[in-house]
């Protein structure tokens, strides 16, 4: 029997991150899409603190799923803008076909606007969910993209749509792929730090599957915003994973939160519904791209998130 031949992959138009300038230069303006989400307000804060002029647009101003969104957005974009798209319907809104199509419609309208009004650069906030983790325990920017569900498929499709549009219009494109983001103000309530903190505050009990053996990376929301800021001021193009620190098990995360909460909070082990899987990243590319960037230690970010969530 002959050996199976490896798949012939098409050439990639996007490579690892490169910079237009080594010294930071503020653009004339940054236009952020997704103002009502979890990440965009933090990007807005970091940019503003560093003297960057910003306009943030949410669905109340322009609903990107609506038929006239393309024309409305085109009127907002100027030639000197850096546009950041942090707008998406996240898994808590659904992982079904209807949600997939809405996410694709949003990207279609943004691409239509870019075809009429060409900004100076475009940054898309994607997801580490684009990667196929089945065949590799250590992922990087060069890992194969093979989405595991419809939400992840939406990000892969959006990346392809934006890549094609930006190439045609000669707009520099950056893809930022964060791993699981944690921080106060999270709207997703996904399994991990954000949900565990809510459980601790509300129920006095953190529920994890099995012993929480799965290892994951978790990135602080302010660190993602800082990485996006660095991409803006260095005129960066290409792909970068917003993944920091070392992987940690869900069990260790739960125990750290229980320690922060005090003796009244306990960790409960639920029956496991599937196999133990790990998802770890090689963060070399981020270190090379921004050698002076210092990520927030997980313990510090977790403590800040716990405290800020309690005040909310």
pLDDT digits (tens, 9 = 90+) for 263-307: 999 999 999 988 888 899 999 999 999 999 999 999 999 999 999
Express each pLDDT in 84-99 by its tens digit. Answer: 999 999 888 888 999 9
Is the whole-model pTM more than 0.85? yes
pLDDT for 204 beyond 70 = yes
Q: Confidence band (pLDDT; 50, 70, 90) for 9? A: very low
Q: According to the model, what pLDDT value does residue 132 have?
A: 84
How much is the average pLDDT of 4-12?
44
How is domain 29-181+218-242 classified at the architecture level of CATH? 3-Layer(aba) Sandwich (3.40)
The pLDDT value recorded for residue 23 is: 94
Query: What's the CATH fold of domain 187-217+246-277+296-311?
Result: UDP-galactose 4-epimerase; domain 1 (3.90.25)
Give me the pLDDT at residue 312, please.
66
Q: For 157-187, how does the pLDDT look when each residue is reduced to its tens digit (9 = 90+)?
A: 999 999 999 999 999 999 999 999 999 988 7
Alpha-carbon dihedral 201, 151, 106, 59, rounded to 10 degrees: -10
Give residue 192's pLDDT.
Answer: 94
Mean pLDDT across the chain, nearest whole number? 92
pLDDT value of residue 185: 85
Evaluated on CA atoms 117, 126, 297, 192, the torsion sign reads positive
Digit-coded pLDDT (tens) for 212-247: 999 999 999 999 999 999 999 999 999 999 999 899
- Are the beta carbons of 231 and 224 closer than 8 angstroms? no
Longest dimension (CA), the chain: 65
- The three-point CA angle 281-284-287 to 5° equals 120
Residue ranges covered by each domain of the chain: 29-181+218-242, 187-217+246-277+296-311
Best CA proximity match to 220, nearest among 300, 286, 293: 300
């Amino acid at each position: 029997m002959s050996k199976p031949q490896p798949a012939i992959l098409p050439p990639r138009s996007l490579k690892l991150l490169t910079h237009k300038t080594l010294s930071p230069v503020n653009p004339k303006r940054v236009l952020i899409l997704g103002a009502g989400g979890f990440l965009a307000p933090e990007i807005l804060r970091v940019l503003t603190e560093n003297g960057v002029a910003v306009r943030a647009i949410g669905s109340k101003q322009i609903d990107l799923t609506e038929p006239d969104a393309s024309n409305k957005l085109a009127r907002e974009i100027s030639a000197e803008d850096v546009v950041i798209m942090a707008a998406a319907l996240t898994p808590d809104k659904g992982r079904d076909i209807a949600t997939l199509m809405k996410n694709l419609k949003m990207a279609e309208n943004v691409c239509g606007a870019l075809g009429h009004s060409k900004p100076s650069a475009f940054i898309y906030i994607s997801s580490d969910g684009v990667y196929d983790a089945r065949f590799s325990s250590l992922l990087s920017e060069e890992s194969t993209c093979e989405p595991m569900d419809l939400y992840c498929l939406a990000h892969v499709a959006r990346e392809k749509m934006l890549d094609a549009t930006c190439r045609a219009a000669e707009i520099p494109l950056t893809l930022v792929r964060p791993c699981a983001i944690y921080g106060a103000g999270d709207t997703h309530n996904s399994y991990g730090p954000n949900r565990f903190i809510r459980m601790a505050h509300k129920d006095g009990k953190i529920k994890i599957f099995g012993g929480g053996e799965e290892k994951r990376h978790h990135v602080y929301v302010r660190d993602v915003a800082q990485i996006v800021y660095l991409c803006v001021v260095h005129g960066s193009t290409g792909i970068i994973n917003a993944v920091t620190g070392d992987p940690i098990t869900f069990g260790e995360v739960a125990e750290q939160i229980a320690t922060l909460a005090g003796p009244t909070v306990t960790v409960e082990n639920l029956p496991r519904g599937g196999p133990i899987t790990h998802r770890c990243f090689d963060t070399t590319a981020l270190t090379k791209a921004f050698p002076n960037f210092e990520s927030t230690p997980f313990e510090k970010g977790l403590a800040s998130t716990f405290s800020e969530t309690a005040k909310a």
